[in-house]
A = this chain, B = another copy of it.
């Protein structure tokens, strides 16, 4: 899961990233609105944390732009302002949640999870795909009611494919999603093959149909 943190206070954004990284999110930082718009224009984030009180403009405009573009990004406003007015203005413009500074990182994390669930999975905490059930809250999956133990990467991989179901996702995209930094992800996708194999093996062994199709030369597709 990929997040964009729009925040100019370096200390704060750093500690947010440190915490959310623990929670297995991939984080990018935009220190100002211009950068934020650049990034959101060319990227889908699972959730954007938006401080609306940055020096270089009005965050509500960024929010408006984000929502107007019919993006799938969820938005959580974080702000020192905590007047009812601001809250209402933000939510009216389509923000998914509003969090007043200061806040606990655990609360932020919980809200992010909630927003992502709502947007990605129509609010369902549990995805049911025929015999396959994914509990995004517990981060567990089961086939025909019987639990299947996945490693973290396997789970991430599955969730990424499921959240793009019926779409071909390139190995570039998968690699980036799994490893976080795209520095040296050029020609070595061996680790994807390995995880893919292990994941598929576990699923099939558990009695799940093999929904993950390899599309030769293009990538993979969760076909359901």
A22 at the interface (CB under 8 A from B): yes
Q: B172–A22 contact, CB under 8 A? A: yes
- Name the prevailing secondary structure of the A interface residues: mixed
Q: B182–A105 contact, CB under 8 A? A: yes
Q: B167–A137 contact, CB under 8 A? A: yes
Other-chain contact of A140, B42, B149, B167 (Cβ < 8 Å): B167
Q: How far is the CB of A109 from chain B (nearest CB, A)?
A: 7
Q: B109–A217 contact, CB under 8 A? A: no
Number of copies: 2
Interface residues of A (CB under 8 A from B): 15, 18-19, 22-24, 38-39, 42-43, 100, 104-107, 109-111, 114, 135, 137-140, 147, 149, 151-152, 155, 166-168, 170-173, 176, 182, 186-187, 215-218, 221, 223
Closest 9 CB pairs of A and B: A138-B167, A18-B186, A139-B168, A152-B217, A42-B110, A42-B107, A22-B172, A42-B111, A106-B176
Q: Interface centre among A168, A216, A218, by most B CB within 10 Å?
A: A218
Q: A106–B151 contact, CB under 8 A? A: no
**What residues on B are CB-neighbors of A140 within 8 Å?**
166-168, 221
Q: B110–A217 contact, CB under 8 A? A: no
Q: A173–B18 contact, CB under 8 A? A: no
Q: A182–B106 contact, CB under 8 A? A: yes
